[in-house]
Structure 1
Amino acid sequence: KYLQCEHRVSTIHRLLFKANITESHVEKKAHLHLKKVAFSASLLASGSGHTGPFDTHTTLVFKYVLTNIGNAYNPDTGFFIAPVRGVYHFEIKSGAYGHPSHGSATVLVKNDQNVFAAWEHQTSGTMSSSNGVILLLEVGDVVFVRLWHHTRVYDNEHNHSTFSGHLIFTM
């Protein structure tokens, strides 16, 4: 009986060791999967034209998704929702045709707080502006782009107005 008990204990130890290795392996794979977050989207899915001007700040919904690894960007709302706590890099680019009364101004917003803007105003010709930022985000933080009131942006098949971001590393 002693040998049977010793054999069972040995078997249990082996199974626990294998279970720990498997659990560790699964955790590592899950952690690696969560690290893959990147998106890039353009304002219009088809056609061409200006969006705006509007009398109020307006959330821009970037419909043409070029990349959405991790599916953290929603092309129906224009919102990027952080899936993991980490450091992220975002960029906005705005294109427009000059107009005497309307410049082009977009603002990157985090949880309803303006973070930075990309602004340009010319009376004629083409114009573009861009900006980028690195942010520490918590799970569930929302990042999106607003068109500033009384301004406009232009887009067509050449993707003049874009919103992009990616996870640099988790925290």
Structure 2
Amino acid sequence: MRPFYFDVYDTCLQCLLMSLLVKSQTTESSSAKDSQFPSADPTVALEGQCVVVCDAVKSQRVQTQANFAQTPPAVRRIAFSVQKNANLGLPRNSNGGDGPVVVTFDYMLLNIGNAFDSSKSTFVPSVSGVYSLVFNIYKLFNRDPVTVALTINGVVLFTGFADDKSTPPQLAHNGGLVHLDVNDRVRIEIVKGNLDGGWQHSTFSGHLVFEDRY
């Protein structure tokens, strides 16, 4: 396919050649027919002629707008998914036994953008925007009720319950869309009860839906 500006250049060249041809014919015939016929004005279109007006500035502006519309903005990708793979281990307190109990994960399924800190089982976004977050925590070999929550900077946002005393396993899960800022700290914590019987197969996942544009 020929670039747009080639078509503009060819059209303008045709306009120039047409103008020179009309001017040349007018000059040659004016001396012989000046007394009988008036001189032709090259700026006036005669009946049956096609006049093409070239607007190079407008054409360039239209082409620039078209190129801008075809250039998508850079998209940064952030996504993670982690799992509790081992059937042993206990959740740990985040502050040496005095803070909330953090649900830990030992297997990384996905970590595009390297925003999930596996050493602390914490998601720390590097881009501000809207994120989709979801957790599924299984309670195994434990009949005691347990409440877990997704927290942002220590503040409970989504809560899941596994409080049925029937035969385990039972699932506490929740999730949704939330706006996060850079360096927010997102993790899964135990609000009530315990996971002393294990939480194997539990998962915590999230991804960037769209980033902020200012």
Q: TM-score, normalised by structure 2?
A: 0.56
Matched, 1:104 2:104: no
Deviation at 1:52, TM superposition (A): 5.6
Unmatched 5+ residue regions in structure 2?
A: 1-71
> After superposition, what is the alpha-carbon deviation per residue over 1:22-73, rounded to whole angstroms, capped at 9, x for unaligned?
xxxxxx78x43xx2100000124xx314746989730122221100000100
Hey, what does 2:199 align to over in structure 1?
Answer: 155
Q: Percent identity?
A: 25
Unmatched 5+ residue regions in structure 1?
A: 1-27
Matched, 1:141 2:180: no
Q: Decide whether aligned partners of structure 1 residues 82 and 69 sit closer, same or farther in structure 2, where only a CA change above 3 A counts.
A: same
Hey, what does 2:103 align to over in structure 1?
Answer: 60
Query: For the Cα contact (< 8 Å) 1:39–1:68, is it kept in 2?
Result: yes
Aligned residues: 136
Deviation at 1:155, TM superposition (A): 3.2
> After superposition, what is the alpha-carbon deviation per residue over 1:122-162, rounded to whole angstroms, capped at 9, x for unaligned?
22322112101211111111111102242227333xx2x11
Hey, what does 2:175 align to over in structure 1?
Answer: 132
Return the alpha-carbon distance in structure 2 between the equivalents of residues 53 and 104 of structure 1.
15
Amino acid at match of 1:63: D
Return the alpha-carbon distance in structure 2 between the equivalents of residues 170 and 136 of structure 1.
9
1:134 counterpart SS class = strand
Amino acid at match of 1:133: G
Amino acid at match of 1:162: T
Amino acid at match of 1:60: V
Larger Rg, first or second structure (1 or 2): 2
Ranked by relative contact order (alpha carbons within 8 Å, sequence separation 6 or more), the top structure is: 1
1:148 counterpart SS class = strand
Choose from 114, 131, 138 the match for 1:71: 114
Hey, what does 1:42 align to over in structure 2?
Answer: 83
Matched, 1:165 2:206: yes
Q: Decide whether aligned partners of structure 1 residues 154 and 99 sit closer, same or farther in structure 2, where only a CA change above 3 A counts.
A: closer
Query: For the Cα contact (< 8 Å) 1:53–1:151, is it kept in 2?
Result: no
Q: TM-score, normalised by structure 1?
A: 0.69
Return the alpha-carbon distance in structure 1 between the equivalents of residues 166 and 132 of structure 2.
32
